[in-house]
């Protein structure tokens, strides 16, 4: 019989002191929901294994990999302030359909739930989710938005029933697609590979709905994946394979065509990859492309801030700052203008800018134009020693060591205490360029 693994992620990554109460409440809700799901599935006669709460994310993944069988599935529960959403490994149409099924069955039990939808893990802040990428068995990540809901206990009870329904349907689908004789034989379907629209001589494999290519092809593309601990290679008939999607983090475009069973790679782009991530310079996107990117993630935001894409392009051009990077940082800091943190939309502070002397509040600017200008100036302070063209607006401009961080990776630990802050901006930039068809 297939088994179901479930992990409750209680480290939700909030960084500000004022949010600790919400952190604790969300963690308690997630654990309670997990326990109810476990109880419900066991009452239906299914075997479910709960990852120990004291395990780190990597320890949880390793524990599941050590104990899982090919027909098993795994779900990670996480908390979110607003909507409920499910994430699956990118370019896996099977997993996408399973995420849709799970969300559908959950919404039937909890019709009042606000559903954001189901998305590839490339749509997350880091551009990938380890739980989706590193597990051997099929896996999904569910972010639950139920903080401060009325009738909390009843909501959690119904959510547990809906998730249990979805997990059983998903598990049965995986088992039906992999009969015992297939699992024992360990044979995989071959797939075609195209690089820059040209056929590649060697074939790849389709494993659990994921496209795999040989490690030799990664080497030929100039990418060394042998030293990355997050890569899970597979050895099959004397050849080492890696997931095709893992090449995306190395600025290789990866697309999957389910109809023809072909994975497409693109390494030639209309933008110069040597300039990727450098703060000073020209952006590559148009105002229309910035607008579409913002509307794609928050349709309402454009109605409230219709001039923001144009302002970023204009203000960045004046100071010689890459407007793509500035705009992506704004999207990260404000969560696409949802403003869920301590900063209010009326403050026109789009980058988490502080005040002089470490005040209790964030900086406030008189208009959107001034707020964008201050953001651009703060970026220039970090990235360049050149003088400003316009009057200083950024309250902390003179306190920055000029030119100490010319690349966005160097903003980690400086602009934000998060040591992977630059990685988040880089992932956001990659999403923008993919949507604009520049990557």
Q: How far is it, in rounded angstroms, from Cα 205 to Cα 437?
A: 26
Greater model confidence, 183 or 108: 108
Q: How far is it, in rounded angstroms, from Cα 361 to Cα 353?
A: 10
Q: Where are the domains of the chain?
A: 4-177, 188-266, 273-435
| pLDDT tens-place string over residues 45-92 | 999 999 999 899 999 999 999 999 989 999 999 987 678 999 999 999
Asked if residue 309 has pLDDT above 50, the reply is: yes
Fold of 273-435: Lysozyme (1.10.530)
For range 376-390, the mean pLDDT: 97
| pLDDT tens-place string over residues 321-368 | 999 999 999 999 999 999 877 899 999 999 999 988 766 689 999 999
> Do residues 328 and 432 lie in contact, with contact meaning Cβ atoms separated by under 8 Å?
yes
pTM: 0.84
What pLDDT sits at residue 200?
97
Grade residue 227 by pLDDT with cuts at 50, 70 and 90.
Answer: confident
Asked if residue 376 has pLDDT above 60, the reply is: yes
Token pair in block for residue 280: 């000073």
Please choose, from the candidates 251, 308, 192, the residue with its C-alpha nearest in 3D space to the C-alpha of residue 431: 251
What pLDDT sits at residue 145?
81
The residue whose two tokens read 């088992």 is 175
Grade residue 299 by pLDDT with cuts at 50, 70 and 90.
Answer: confident
For range 236-256, the mean pLDDT: 94
Share of the chain above pLDDT 70, in %: 92
Grade residue 147 by pLDDT with cuts at 50, 70 and 90.
Answer: low
Cα torsion 383, 385, 390, 396: sign = positive
273-435 shares the fold of 4-177: no
Residue 278, phi then psi, degrees to nearest 5: -85, 130
What is the architecture of the domain spanning 4-177? 3-Layer(aba) Sandwich (3.40)
């Amino acid at each position: 019989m297939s088994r179901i693994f479930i992990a409750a992620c209680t480290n939700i990554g909030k960084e500000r002191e004022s949010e600790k109460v919400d952190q604790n409440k969300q963690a308690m809700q997630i654990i309670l929901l997990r326990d109810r799901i476990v109880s419900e599935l066991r009452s239906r006669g299914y075997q479910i294994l709960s990852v120990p709460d004291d395990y780190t994310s990597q320890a949880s993944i390793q524990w599941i990999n050590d104990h899982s069988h090919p027909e098993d599935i795994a779900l990670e529960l996480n908390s979110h302030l607003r909507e409920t959403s499910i994430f699956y490994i990118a370019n896996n149409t099977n997993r996408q359909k399973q995420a849709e099924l799970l969300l559908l069955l959950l919404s039937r039990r909890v019709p009042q739930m606000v559903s954001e939808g189901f998305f590839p893990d490339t749509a997350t802040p880091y551009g990938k989710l380890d739980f989706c990428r590193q597990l051997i068995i099929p896996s999904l990540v569910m972010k639950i938005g139920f903080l401060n809901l009325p009738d909390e206990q009843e909501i959690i009870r119904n959510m547990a029933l809906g998730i249990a329904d979805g997990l059983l349907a998903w598990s049965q689908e995986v088992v039906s697609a992999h009969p015992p004789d297939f699992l024992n034989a360990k044979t995989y379907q071959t797939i075609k590979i195209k690089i820059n629209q040209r056929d590649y001589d060697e074939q790849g494999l389709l494993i659990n709905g994921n496209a795999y290519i040989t490690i030799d092809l990664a080497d030929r593309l100039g990418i060394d994946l042998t030293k990355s601990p997050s890569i899970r290679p597979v050895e099959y008939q004397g050849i080492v394979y890696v997931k095709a999607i893992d090449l995306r983090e190395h600025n290789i475009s990866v697309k999957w065509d389910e109809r023809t069973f072909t994975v497409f790679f693109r390494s030639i782009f209309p933008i110069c990859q040597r300039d990727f991530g450098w703060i000073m310079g020209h952006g590559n996107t148009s105002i229309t492309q910035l607008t579409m990117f913002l509307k794609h993630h928050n349709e309402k935001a454009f109605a409230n801030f219709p001039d923001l894409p144009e302002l970023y392009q204009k203000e960045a051009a004046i100071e010689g700052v890459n407007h793509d990077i500035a705009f992506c940082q704004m999207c990260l800091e404000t969560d696409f203008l949802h403003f869920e943190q301590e900063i209010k939309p009326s403050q026109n502070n789009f980058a988490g800018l502080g005040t002089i002397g470490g005040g209790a509040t964030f900086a406030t600017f008189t208009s959107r134009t001034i707020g964008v200008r201050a953001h651009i100036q703060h970026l220039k302070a970090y990235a360049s020693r050149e003088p400003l063209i316009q009057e200083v607006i950024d309250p902390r401009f003179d306190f920055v060591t000029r030119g100490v961080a010319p690349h966005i990776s160097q903003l980690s630990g400086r602009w934000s205490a998060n040591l992977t802050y630059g990685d988040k901006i880089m992932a956001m930039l990659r999403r923008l360029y993919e949507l604009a068809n520049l990557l």
